A and B are shown apart, each in its own frame.
Chain A
Amino acid sequence: MIHSETLLSSRLSHRSQMWDATGMWAFVLHRITGLGLVFYILLHTILMGGSLLSGKEDFDATLSVLMGNPVFEVLDIMLLGAVLYHGFNGIRILLFDMGIGISISSQRNIFRIFMGAAAILWFWSIALKLSH
């Protein structure tokens, strides 16, 4: 078994190599989508909770803006993309933690298959949204 610190320092001495690795991009994108989703869940809790508490008229007014305005429709699609990426990459991380597919080549394959699945779900959802 390779000691993780040795692995890390040998990677850090080749910075360009580190950034070429699929795993590094996967990690960075997981953080970026994660931060976006943290911001979203806080906003979503306040907005939904708040408009529920202020009653029917306010709730319907908020929802007609959020679900009717084209700007929010685009943001909604981006949100779904972030959720799908974070979720599928998250499943890959869980499998890795359980010791499933831990070689570099299977990691690359699992990542590609999961990203394919996420992309299919995303485009299918966009098509569904556009057809309504």
Chain B
Amino acid sequence: MHAWTWFLQRISAVILVIALGLHIGFLHFSNAGEPLNYSDIMVRLKTPVFISLDILLLIFGLYHALYGLYSIFLDFDSGKKEKLVVLGLLVAMGLGFVGFGIFGLFYTICSL
């Protein structure tokens, strides 16, 4: 199992370098200084490109973050049972956060 999860960590890294670059560049420096407001976000949430970017960031950002945590945990050489428990918690956490983020996005898009 370890090989493909490790490889997905690399794939998510490449995606994040590009997607996070766009995210930070667009969302923060296209209107630096003045606070971003709800209507700015609504304009973006009408564009499929921005919605896709947000979903990519949610999925790959959270995967990369939580797998990163897991690999730090693996360095402590825990037992098999502990590894399973931590892995289960992290998977549940990841699914929860991605689910919440996507729900928030689509709930807002649908109420437009």
B67 → A minimal CB distance (Å): 10
Number of A positions contacting B (CB below 8 A): 34
Find chain B residues with CB under 8 A from A8 CB: none
A19 → B minimal CB distance (Å): 17
Flag B1-20 by CB within 8 Å of A: 1 or 0 each: 00000000010011011001
Taken together as a complex, chains A and B put the C-alpha atoms of A97 and B108 apart, in Å, by 41
Find chain B residues with CB under 8 A from A64 CB: 35
Partner of A97, one of B10, B69, B100: B10
Number of B positions contacting A (CB below 8 A): 34
Q: Is there contact, CB below 8 Å, between A63 and B101? A: no
B33 → A minimal CB distance (Å): 3
Q: Which of B34-80 contact A (CB under 8 A)?
A: 34-38, 41, 58, 61-62, 65-66, 68-69, 72
Partner of B17, one of A41, A53, A87: A87
Partner of B108, one of A34, A53, A60, A67: A53
- The answer, yes or no, to whether B32 is at the interface (CB within 8 Å) is yes
Q: Is there contact, CB below 8 Å, between A45 and B97? A: yes
Find chain A residues with CB under 8 A from B104 CB: 48-50, 52-53
Seed contacts A49-B105, A67-B34, A94-B10; 4 additional CB < 8 Å A-B pairs: A59-B37, A63-B36, A87-B17, A91-B17
A-B contact pairs, 18 of them (CB 8 A): A35-B69, A38-B65, A41-B62, A41-B65, A45-B58, A45-B100, A46-B97, A46-B100, A49-B100, A49-B104, A56-B38, A59-B38, A63-B37, A66-B35, A67-B34, A87-B20, A91-B17, A129-B33
